A = this chain, B = another copy of it.
């Protein structure tokens, strides 16, 4: 309660950008089907694919004071990750905070609560993944913490972890696993390219993956 952790190590920019290119579904598979945030986290506008290092913010319900504190901690390429200490739908973040965050190099916001001024944020090109959109404002009365581990939409996020977000949702990659995950993602993409080509010709997954024997053994019956 009331701690700001400074100087969190970040992941190398080339790795972060590689993970963005791979996208959420591929990165999630590449790290063994782990790290997805809950499906209720949706983008405020479609068509963005982004990655960045997490600046985590633990906030009280209905109180966005710590967002101002967190903005000072942003380094270019970061993504803000905001979580209330108990579930809350209020609109913690709008165009003024986005202007400030963007001025410091922030690439987007992931918030397990509400966001507002979404028409302005869309026009500014500041992407947000949130639980909801809500114009309901917040107060500035109670402390929270910055760059402590948070539980965001059923996933643990630590400061400096890589956040990848696109139209499929959000996935988190542990800082120390980022490089290995990128390698695994790239192998996966190469393998999928070949599969996609074969499936497009009408070849069946049943044959390509050699599933027929195992299905028969489990007892699948055709009538």
Contact = CB atoms under 8 A, between A and B. Distances in A.
B168 A117 contact: yes
Contacts of A202: 103-104
Contacts of A222: 3-4, 6
A60 interface: yes
A25 interface: yes
A88 interface: yes
Contact of A205 (B88, B100, B169, B209): B100
A14 interface: no
Interface residues on A, range: 35 or more
Per assembly, the copies of the chain total 6
Nearest to A104: B202
A13 interface: no
Contacts of A167: 118-119, 122, 133
A45 to B, nearest CB: 8
Contact of A71 (B42, B151, B205): B205
Contacts of A72: 204, 206
Pairs A-B, 4 closest by C-beta atoms: A39-B134, A61-B62, A61-B61, A100-B199
